[in-house]
Chains A and B, each alone.
Chain A
Amino acid sequence: MLKSSNNISSNKAIGSNYGFLLRDFFSGLEINYFILMFIVLTILLITTPNYRDASYIIKAISRNVEYGLVACMMTIIIIGGMIDLSVAGVMTLCATITGLLYHNAGIPMLGAIVLGLMGGLMLGMINGALVAYLKIPAIIVTIGTLYLYRGISKIFIGDHSLGHFPDWFNRVDRIYLIKIGNVNIPVTIIGLLVVVIIIFFILKFTSIGRKIYAIGTNETAAKFSGINVKCLKFLLFSLSGLVAGAAGLLWMSRLLVVRHDMALGGELDIITIVVLGGTSILGGKGNVIGTLWGWLIVIFVRSGLSVAQIPIEQQLFVMGTLLLLALAIPNVISILKEKYLNIEIQKSLKKVIESKNKKY
């Protein structure tokens, strides 16, 4: 039978099943971290001009759906202990391929899209093959492919903007599905939310989700436990390529053109989103709801900066600082707490031992 152990206080282990919404929401995170983020979000919302204008907010959000989508997929990859820095490159190359197939090869847009997505899938598969089967660390592989893929786009379309796509393709983010009050919600945001929900359920309720957490925690032990690590990693990277490709197409639809510098530096934003959401970059911990949270924060910070007319390059400074602070502050707090607790514990334990010794 289960005996109560007189041992160390039981920490909630990762991924308990019940009460999943509340407990896992905070799994691996300090509660004060979430409170901090909540405060930040509120402040941003209030200080953003036009915050009362809900449609303005929706517009700001819908501009960032692509990054949100990639960030959700990236969450899975990071939980699995890996990273994919090449996503912006895949986005660009996939869109480039689609654009070129449509324009230069005369393939009807729908076909071009399908082929472009397949291209994205293949780009992801290349990453997957190098990481999963050749066992090269993902960090450096995806740095390499990032430049490789973006470079190829640059070779293909140079400095030009490739545009003039059919009307039904353009501005997919203007297609409204639902109306809340008097605000139109574009289908892309709904789509993203659906994706988030799907990913949430996959991670929490399916065996695949468990396996992903497992390989992010301890890959070797996962392998010894019968998980096909190579296959799973390959699958995840391929999927990441596909999702990035789709995001690239969405971007192309929203901006009407594809350029070689599309989503330049996007990997920073995406990783910021994921990390702000509480997912540990080391793997084995995290969840996609947090990513949604982080996504909103990044959106509002950026839009606030744009409104304040801070030039893009200087915005980088703010984003970088945000990322650092968001991680440093909870860490520093917990380090200090540890030290303080330790001192207190040692003091009280000394007293306990002293009193026990007196008894002997």
Chain B
Amino acid sequence: MKNRARLRANNKFIFKPEYVTIFIIIFILGLSAIYKPELFIEAVRRREFFQSIILGLPLIVTVAMGMMMVITTGCIDVSVGSIVGFTGMFVGFLFKFYDAPFWVGVLAAIVVGMMAGAFNGLFISYFRINFLVVTLATMNIWRGLAFVITDGVEIGASYMPEQMSFLILKGPIPRIGIPWLIWIALFFVIIMVFFMKYSHFGREVYAVGGNENAAKLRGINVKKVKFVVFALTGMFSGIAGLMYGARFGFFSPGDTGNGMELIVIASTVIGGVSISGGRGSIIGVVLGCLLLGTVQTLIPSVGFSSFYNTTIYGLIIIIALIIDTGIKIRKSRGVLAKKGVVGD
């Protein structure tokens, strides 16, 4: 009976391995804050700091909602940044050349994004091509198409419908100055939390990632699950494309969403989603985004040039992976492994 209680406790919040990584990185950051407090205080004081994080986060978080599902099924999608760029340009194109109203832009972002994601899913699930190869290819296809749409020309703020600026300037509750963008991202987060835990499809995603073979034997249509996951990720990326235009005020074929996949993947991995699939939580991913968003904004404030960005993300990914692996090894030490293959 005592074992029961201990096992249950291990499953509880703090001790979940997903969160350990985050705590460790926060600890490291805390150390560096103590080491050089002046820069940190100065950085935090400036209003732009919070603005930067607050406005940048919704973009990352939205895409991360999809990426969480993708990685949980055991795959990776490196094309998200390009889908963001492509849908952004497409929506901008509609705004500029067709004088499309805002709601059309929203609809287009959702539909085009979903179709791009479904394209990925089609090749991965039904044409049976490896997810890495497919998303590497589509990463370039969508980015290339983004350039094709306007032959490389950016779409500036003057063509945006006014609601786009509302997204970042106005919020539903006038007194509290939290813009729509945040609320929308929050909305997605809440929906995804419930979706992953309480919806049938969400459970199937975990099953497919945990043991694809067993999932098949249980009657889960693995192909369909993966297809839908990629389609949904495309949808989220499309919405983020629209948000990009709101946040920055323009759509650019080269810049919109460029390099986003790195941040999103890093956030997801830090957030405790296991690369081998089957494990992870939305909350963890959100925490990961928060962390990375903070780091991203801290870097210029603390005096490093933005050149350090990619380096630090890469470093964080690797540190997070090492910690994650270390946890896995500790866990499996006490477990009597079948077939004598320990810690596999």
Contacts and interface: CB of A to CB of B under 8 A. Distances in A.
Interface of A: 83, 130, 134-137, 139-141, 143-152, 154-155, 158, 220, 265, 267-268, 271-272, 275, 281-282, 311, 313-321, 323-324, 327-328, 331-332, 335
- Could you say which of A158, A314, A318 has the most chain B C-beta atoms within 10 Å of its C-beta? A314
A151 B308 contact: yes
Contacts of A154: 307, 310-311
Given A151-B314, A328-B127, A331-B128, A311 B147 contact: yes
A64 B309 CA distance: 30
A324 B262 contact: no
Which 8 A-B pairs rank lowest in CB-CB distance, beginning with the nearest? A317-B144, A151-B311, A148-B314, A147-B314, A320-B140, A144-B317, A320-B141, A316-B140
A234 B145 CA distance: 39
A281 B132 contact: yes
A146 B127 CA distance: 29
B312 interface: yes
Interface residue SS majority, chain A: helix
Interface stretch (B6-14, B187-195, B232-240, B318-326): B318-326
A130 B322 CA distance: 8
Interface of B: 76, 78, 123, 127-130, 132-134, 136-141, 143-148, 152, 253-254, 262, 265-266, 269, 275-276, 305, 307-315, 317-318, 321-322, 325, 341, 343-344
Contact of B344 (A149, A220, A327): A220
A149 B315 CA distance: 9
A288 to B, nearest CB: 19
B123 A324 contact: yes
Contacts of A318: 144
Contacts of B133: 271, 275, 281, 323, 327
A324 B276 contact: no
- Could you say which of B127, B139, B148, B275 has the most chain A C-beta atoms within 10 Å of its C-beta? B127
B128 A315 contact: no
B118 to A, nearest CB: 14
B137 A155 contact: no
Contact of A130 (B76, B143, B275, B318): B318
A213 B184 CA distance: 49
6 contacts: A151-B310, A158-B307, A275-B133, A320-B136, A327-B127, A327-B129
B143 A324 contact: no
A167 B310 CA distance: 34
Contacts of A313: 143-144, 146-147, 152, 253-254
Given A134-B322, A140-B321, A144-B317, A265 B344 contact: no
Given A220-B341, A317-B144, A151 B137 contact: no
A271 B76 CA distance: 16
A337 B251 CA distance: 45
A319 B139 CA distance: 11
Nearest to B130: A281
A327 B127 CA distance: 9
Given A148-B311, A265-B140, A324-B137, 15 more contacts: A130-B322, A136-B321, A139-B132, A140-B269, A147-B317, A151-B310, A151-B313, A155-B311, A268-B136, A282-B130, A313-B147, A319-B140, A323-B133, A327-B127, A328-B123
A337 to B, nearest CB: 13
B140 A268 contact: yes
Contacts of B275: 136-137, 139-140
Nearest to B147: A313
A314 B317 CA distance: 30
Contacts of B140: 265, 268, 316-317, 319-320
A57 to B, nearest CB: 25
A254 B141 CA distance: 28
A314 B146 CA distance: 8
Nearest to B79: A320
Contacts of A151: 307-314
A329 to B, nearest CB: 9
B314 A316 contact: no
A271 B246 CA distance: 35
B299 to A, nearest CB: 11
Contacts of B310: 147-148, 150-151, 154
B129 A331 contact: yes
Contact of A141 (B128, B129, B134, B318): B318
A140 B76 contact: yes
A140 B266 CA distance: 9
B315 A148 contact: yes
A314 B136 contact: no
Nearest to B324: A136
A141 B341 CA distance: 23
A234 B318 CA distance: 17
B314 A145 contact: yes
B262 A320 contact: no
Nearest to A313: B147
A317 B141 contact: yes
Contacts of B343: 135
Nearest to B261: A143
A216 to B, nearest CB: 14
B309 A148 contact: no
A335 B128 contact: yes
A152 B129 CA distance: 33
Contacts of B143: 313, 316-317
A275 B189 CA distance: 37
B129 A328 contact: yes
Contacts of B148: 314, 317
Given A154-B311, A220-B344, A323-B136, A145 B318 contact: yes
B76 A139 contact: yes
A139 B141 CA distance: 21
A317 B145 CA distance: 6
B132 A83 contact: yes
Given A154-B311, A313-B253, A324 B152 contact: no
Contact of B138 (A145, A149, A265, A324): A324
A215 to B, nearest CB: 14
Contacts of A324: 123, 129, 134, 137-138, 141
Contacts of A331: 127-129
